[in-house]
Structure 1
Amino acid sequence: MKFNILMILLSVSALSCAQETPKVKQVSKMKPKTDLKGVKVVNSDDPICHMKTAEFLKDTIIYKGKTYGFCSDHCKKEFKKTPAKYALK
């Protein structure tokens, strides 16, 4: 009886170790489509989340002839919904 239990435990252990570990797909770091260093924007803070755009400029949009900078695509999309609400006066 003890021998049978020992054989079952060894079989289960061997089978579980024989399984291949799942491979994790490495995500590459996304690079911006364009280099935004040196781009002059009219706002020093993101108009949506108020993050400093000079440090985290990821995207821009031109509204009424002025270039606005954003920390993310999400903030840019929010600005596009109601630009008059966030545009500098």
Structure 2
Amino acid sequence: MRITCPLCGERDRREYYYQGDAVALQRPAAEAGGVAWDDYVHLRDNPAGVTRDLWYHEAGCGSWLVVTRNTVTHEVLDSVLVCDSTGGDA
């Protein structure tokens, strides 16, 4: 899979560190029970289809990107800097 960094151009995905879903996770309250915290730390959705993910260009410019991709076909549909992403959910 190849990801296009808006600053560096197209690069192999091995230059990037995958962080997870770009939609902010809902952190439990400090007083939430152990089950709520266990779910928050360990459970993630594994959707088939188009997702928006956070990627860090670790071996490149050090930018954080929101990458829109299809998890079934591995096609990268879009990549933008986090600071340029719309909707404020990244």
More contact order relative to length (CA 8 Å, sep ≥ 6): 2
Larger Rg: 1
TM above 0.5, yes or no, is no
* TM-score normalised per structure 2: 0.28
Q: From the two aligned structures, give the one with the greater helix fraction.
A: 1
